[in-house]
Structure 1
């Protein structure tokens, strides 16, 4: 019995040494990073569809936010966003994080379980976890 336990622990230690460490912060929701490339004077965000899915928001709303904040006209083509300007990925990732903080993460409980609700002329972020309702800037809608 002791030999089996010792063998088990040795194998377990060996496996722990072989696996790659998880680069997760432990949070349930992590703000995704953009992946893309430059083509001439255009920036192409190739994982735009994945970003929209992870943030659980309307792709037009998210694209409009990025285009306005980055001062870059653009268009959605399939799962890609094409911005008509050269931009570095750090600047785009900063804007994605800003979008998540303003339109996705609940300011009350800090959970991402939210939805955007338009009520008359106002846009609200409604938290499905704690029930809080906060207004957000509605210029983008």
Structure 2
């Protein structure tokens, strides 16, 4: 019979390593840095938000466009919406995105990845190993 340490090493060897930024395991939802310029709204820290969530920019862009009922396009590190949108409304929608697509439904940790399998999107938790379906793309 194998000893406990060897079994633990074998179990943890199959898991992906989870890296926390700044050596801290507390996750804070990034706040939007947006400006209204004429009839357009520019979210300057869009790529930073995507990297914090470990999500594709196109996925977050599509979500924000639908939720804010505004056409949007990615321009470098930022996203431009075709109408005036308050910063508080953008922050609300980013918080809604984290609830739906970032936090694990079981352990509530943000250490997840979005995977597509057989035409369905799944949230796979890197912390507890849970997998939840999000439905069709």
User: CA separation in 2, counterparts of 1:60 and 1:107?
Assistant: 23
The 3 A distance-change label for structure 1 pair 136 and 110 is same
In structure 1, the residue matched to 2:124 is 126
User: CA separation in 2, counterparts of 1:121 and 1:80?
Assistant: 29
Question: How big is the shift at 1:28?
Answer: 0.9
User: CA separation in 2, counterparts of 1:57 and 1:75?
Assistant: 17
Question: How big is the shift at 1:137?
Answer: 4.2
Q: What RMSD, in angstroms, separates the aligned Cα atoms of the two structures?
A: 1.3
TM-score normalised by L of structure 1: 0.77
In structure 2, the residue matched to 1:60 is 58
| Structure 2 unmatched runs, 5+ | 1-23
User: Max radius of gyration: which structure?
Assistant: 1
User: CA separation in 2, counterparts of 1:128 and 1:36?
Assistant: 31
| Structure 1 unmatched runs, 5+ | 1-25
In structure 1, the residue matched to 2:4 is none
TM-score normalised by L of structure 2: 0.80
User: CA separation in 2, counterparts of 1:28 and 1:85?
Assistant: 34
Residue number among 74, 77, 80 corresponding to 1:79 in the alignment: 77
In structure 1, the residue matched to 2:7 is none
